[in-house]
Chains A and B, each alone.
Chain A
Amino acid sequence: MAANEAIKLRNNRLAQYYGMFTVGLIVISLIMGALELVAGMPQAWIGWTFLMLTMGMYAFIGIMSRTKALDEYYVAGRNVPAIFNGMATGADWMSAASFISMAGTLYALGYDGLAYIMGWTGGYVLLALLFAPYIRKFGQYTIPDFVGTRYGGRWPRLVAAVSAIIVSLTYVTAQVVGVGIIMSRFIGVPYEWGVVIGLSGVLVCSFLGGMKAVTWTQVAQYIILIIAYLIPVTFLSLKLTGFPIPQFSYGVALQNITRLEGELKISSEAPARDGTGRVIQQGYVPAYNEGLSNAPAVTAVGQINSYFGTRFTPPAVQSIPNTTKPAEEIQPDWRGTPWNFLALTFCLMVGTAGLPHILIRFYTVPSVRESRMSVGWALVFIFLLYFTAPAYAAFARWEILQNVVGKEISSLPVWTQNWSKLGLITQRDYRTLEGRDIAKLPAWAAPQVTSGALVITDANGNGKIDVAGATFSESEVDGKKIGTFGELSGTAITKNSTDGILQFGELNIDADTIVLATPEIAGLPYTVAALIAAGGLAAALSTADGLLVVISSAIAHDFYFRIINPKASLNTRIWLGKSMLIVAAVIAALLALPRLALIAQMVAWAFSMAAASFFPVVLLGIFWKRCNGPGAIAGMVGGLSVTIFYMASNYLNPSFNVLGITHLASGIFGLPVNFLLCYIVSKLTAAPSQEVQDLVDHLRNPQLDDDLMTELAGTKGKVAAGAH
Chain B
Amino acid sequence: MSDTKDMDRQQRINAYWNENNRLIISLLVIWFAVAYIPPLFINQLNQIRIVGFPLGYYFGSQFSLAVFVVLIFYYAYAMNKLDSKYHLKDK
Contacts and interface: CB of A to CB of B under 8 A. Distances in A.
Contacts of A128: 71-72, 75-76
B5 interface: no
Interface in A73-128: 111, 114, 117-118, 121-122, 124-126, 128
Contact of B90 (A125, A368, A383): A368
A253 B28 contact: no
Contacts of A111: 42, 56-57, 60
A52 interface: no
Interface of B: 9, 13, 16-17, 20-21, 24, 27-28, 31, 35-36, 39-40, 42-43, 46, 49-54, 56-57, 60-62, 64-66, 68-69, 71-73, 75-76, 79-80, 83, 87-91
A285 interface: yes
Given A253-B52, A287-B43, A342-B39, 13 more contacts: A125-B68, A125-B71, A128-B71, A250-B52, A251-B49, A254-B52, A286-B43, A288-B42, A369-B89, A376-B72, A387-B61, A700-B16, A704-B91
17 contacts: A111-B56, A118-B64, A121-B65, A124-B68, A129-B27, A129-B75, A254-B52, A338-B42, A341-B39, A345-B39, A367-B90, A369-B76, A369-B83, A373-B73, A373-B76, A701-B13, A704-B91
Interface residues of A, number: 56
B84 to A, nearest CB: 11
A700 B17 contact: yes
A386 B61 CA distance: 8
Given A111-B60, A118-B60, A369-B83, A285 B88 contact: no
Nearest to B70: A376
Interface in A693-708: 697, 700-706, 708
A702 B36 contact: no
Contacts of A445: none
Contacts of B17: 700
Most interface-central of B9, B27, B42, B90 (chain A CB within 10 A): B90
Nearest to B52: A251
A125 B88 contact: no
Q: Dominant SS at the B interface? A: helix
Q: Which 9 A-B residue pairs are closest in the complex by CB-CB distance? A: A251-B52, A114-B60, A372-B76, A255-B52, A376-B72, A251-B53, A703-B88, A128-B72, A702-B90
Contact of B69 (A254, A258, A349, A383): A383
Contact of A122 (B31, B52, B53, B90): B31
A121 B68 contact: yes
A338 B88 contact: no
B40 A338 contact: yes
A387 B69 CA distance: 12
B83 A122 contact: no
Interface of A: 111, 114, 117-118, 121-122, 124-126, 128-130, 133, 247-248, 250-255, 258, 269, 285-288, 338, 341-342, 345-346, 349, 367-369, 372-373, 375-376, 379-380, 383, 386-387, 390, 623, 697, 700-706, 708
A140 B70 CA distance: 29
A467 B60 CA distance: 47
A387 B68 contact: no
A118 B40 CA distance: 15
A574 B22 CA distance: 43
B60 A369 contact: no
Contacts of A255: 49, 52
Nearest to A106: B61
A346 B36 CA distance: 9
Given A253-B52, A367-B91, A702-B90, A133 B79 contact: yes
Most interface-central of A125, A126, A269, A346 (chain B CB within 10 A): A125
A598 B46 CA distance: 36
Nearest to A345: B35
A338 B39 contact: yes
Contacts of A700: 13, 16-17, 20
Contact of B54 (A252, A285, A341, A703): A285
Contact of A387 (B20, B50, B62, B83): B62
